[in-house]
Amino acid sequence: MNPHQERAAFALFVGAVCIGLAPILVRLADVGLTAAAFWRAALALPALAALRLRVPAAAPHTAAADRRALWLAGAFFGADLAVWHQSLGHTSVANATLLANLAPVFVALALWQLFGERYGVRFWLGLAAALAGAGLLVADSLSIGLRDAFGDGLAAISAVFYAGYQIVVARVRNRCDTITVMLRTSFATALLLLPVALALHEALWPQTLRGWSVVFGLALVSHVAGQGLIAYALAELPTAFASVGLLVQPLAAAAFAWALLGERFGIEQALGGAVVLTGIVLCRLATSPRAATIELN
């Protein structure tokens, strides 16, 4: 792994930790589920605009094809947030978190079908291990039944949308700097989510200072910092590996729930975290240039 990739991998994992705080903040928000997603994107825009003033764009103009791609990425991300936040109202947080993290499966399958990228047995073993570890992290709270089926379906659909976001951003990231990606996708996300929140007649405005601090936390920590670091990392890392690397998120979410909400974090959760990290390492080894050379030979 070269120095650029080392920095990108570090950024990816820090970004995953930051978005791991999102389920906790959504639970604490005093607005509707989709409204919380709207504020996450909308309140990020002033911070991103301020960053744009301090850091000029790498290129003065964004190509029309890239602008369309970033609108598409923003639509994918908005759909991901809208569907996943709604799933939290129909199934357990554990079910929603686990199923939303199926995104790496859809990323790998899409890259194979659309772009002909193939992965060896070690990658699929690593992915299976990482998903199994994520399952161990939330095993105490998982529930199976008809009552949860609708919410579970929504969470799985959100994983498809998030996979689409990752693939599109990875394809344009080498031509667009991180702030441009974040500004354009965040604007598209907010534009999509506001009418959805209004159509659902959700409580839109936070009622207290604590409520505002929660949605600002979603915007600045989970979106600007978390999603921004992930967008940066997607320029340097193989997309399939980056998607698997984001499975650090449920580990971070479990740790935050333990620290902030007093939820259980015992031997089973620690073992799940270790399995997740082992799976990520296997996927990284499988997607390294050396591994690709061996696979071809």
| pLDDT tens, per residue, the chain with 297 residues | 677 788 998 999 999 999 888 888 888 899 999 999 999 999 999 999 999 988 877 766 788 898 999 999 999 999 999 998 888 777 766 677 777 888 888 888 888 888 888 878 888 888 888 888 888 776 666 566 666 678 888 888 999 999 999 999 988 988 889 999 999 999 999 999 999 999 999 999 999 999 999 999 999 999 999 999 999 998 888 888 888 888 888 788 778 777 776 766 677 777 877 888 888 888 877 776 544 333 333
Question: What integer pLDDT is reported at residue 267 of this predicted model?
Answer: 78
Q: What is the pLDDT of residue 13?
A: 92
Could you give the angle at the alpha carbon of 20 between the alpha carbons of 18 and 21, nearest 5°? 75
Question: Taking the CA atoms of the chain, what radius of gyration do you get in angstroms?
Answer: 18
- Per-residue pLDDT at 293: 34
* pLDDT score at 152: 81
- How confident is the model at residue 145, as a pLDDT? 62
Give the pLDDT confidence of 192-213 residue by residue, as tens digits.
Answer: 999 999 999 999 999 999 999 9
